[in-house]
Amino acid sequence: MTVLVRDLRPDDAADVAAFAHVRHLALPFILWTPEAVVHHLAHTHPDARSRSLVAEEDGETVGTAQIGLVHDSPEPGQAYLNVYVHPDRVRRGAGGLLVRTAEEYLAGEGATKLFAWVLDEPANLAFAERHGYARRRSAHFLRLDLANSALPSPPPLPEGVELRTAADFADDPRPMFELDAETLADEPSDVDIEFTDYEAWLAQTWRHPLLDRELTTVAVADGRPVAFSVAYTDGGTRYSTAMTGTVRSHRGRGLAKLTKTDSLRRARAAGYTRAYTGNDTDNGPMLAVNKWLGYEVCATEVRYVRELG
């Protein structure tokens, strides 16, 4: 059995499909399609020095990695690597070879601190720690049986607030960019990001193939978007909340609960049967909202970091 690591071939449909399939098997709680794989490769900022790696065992794709620099952080030298191996092909060398290849490349690009997400399973955590990574924080994946759950009624609309969809901003998405930038700045994170490049946001986020603008609910007040629940869909039966956030000036009004409830109810009416979301384990307010909606924790990820040099 021979394991080798190479770059993903984005023009090879079979190669991309195999990459997406392995990643889905290893982490089924995040939507990932071949179109999303190609989009990531094509539209990640050049300064990120991003690569998607494939581990092959005797010609079969058995592992994947997505790696790059956090180019939009004010602190230089930060990077990410997320490695996923086919559940039936673990402990055969693919994961270790992907990590070594990724670390060598990122170090050569000037990385001094590497961040990785690892599923909270004993073998995975031991693997990360053997490779010199230290535990930071954790986050839950949550799942909702959208077809059979009794979703609660939406909370009443606060005075001066109306609900719209992201599709309503198709002619001028900049207000959505400004909302995304402000709410992202308050998201729990190990890395500070300066979210200022509108053109990059249009390419990476607004035109993402998984983004469902019709099912993304936006709360509008004072003439601008002030809260949203961003919907991703896979073109089949699965729906995922990519982000739920409210600007600081309008927090405490129940807008996160309102927008997420509205989006979920419309997703169910559109035929989606499974819903996923995720929260940091110490994000009590959003965990409470998701429990109220009927979500249940289905897995946990742990954030790991390794200092180089």
The pLDDT tens digits for 181-232 are 998 876 656 665 666 789 989 999 999 999 999 999 999 999 999 999 999 9
* 279 in Cβ contact with 286 (< 8 Å): yes
Tokens representing residue 55 in the block: 């581990």
Say whether domain 144-300 belongs to CATH 3.40.630.30: yes
**Neighbour tally for 215: CB within 10 Å:** 24
State phi, psi for 285 to the nearest 5 degrees: -60, -45
H-state helical runs in the chain: 13-26, 34-43, 94-108, 122-130, 174-184, 198-201, 255-269, 284-293
What is the distance of C-alpha 255 from the center of its chain?
22
Q: State pLDDT tens for residues 68-78.
A: 999 877 888 99
CA 250 to chain centre: 25
Residues 79-106, mean pLDDT to the nearest whole number: 95
Are the beta carbons of 41 and 32 closer than 8 angstroms? no
Give the pLDDT score at 184: 82
First CA to last CA distance, the chain: 33
The sign of the dihedral angle between the CA atoms of 130, 6, 104, 23 is negative
User: How far apart (Å, rounded) are the C-alpha atoms in residues 214 and 139?
Assistant: 28
Asked: is 3-111 a CATH 3.90.550.10 domain? The reply is no
Cβ-Cβ contacts under 8 Å for 179 (sequence gap 6 or more): 218, 224, 225, 226, 227, 228, 245, 247
Residue 92 and residue 234: Cα distance in Å, rounded?
31
pLDDT in tens, 115-156: 999 999 999 999 999 999 999 999 999 999 999 998 999 889
- Record the tokens describing residue 192, joined without a space: 């500070």
Global confidence as pTM:
0.92
Q: Residue 171 above 80 pLDDT?
A: yes
Concatenated DSSP letters of 12-37? -HHHHHHHHHHHHHH-TTS---HHHH
Q: What pLDDT is attached to residue 9?
A: 97
- CA atoms lying within 13 Å on the CB side of residue 271: 4
Question: How many residues make up the chain in this entry?
Answer: 309
CA distances from 299 to 23, 45, 199, 279 (A): 15, 30, 35, 11
Q: Where in the chain is the domain with CATH 3.40.630.30?
A: 3-111, 144-300
Q: Give the single-character DSSP code of 211.
A: B
Q: What is the reported pLDDT for 84?
A: 96
Q: How would you label 102-136 residue by residue, b for 16+ Cβ within 10 Å and e otherwise?
A: bbebbeeeebebbbbbbbbeeebbebbeebebeee
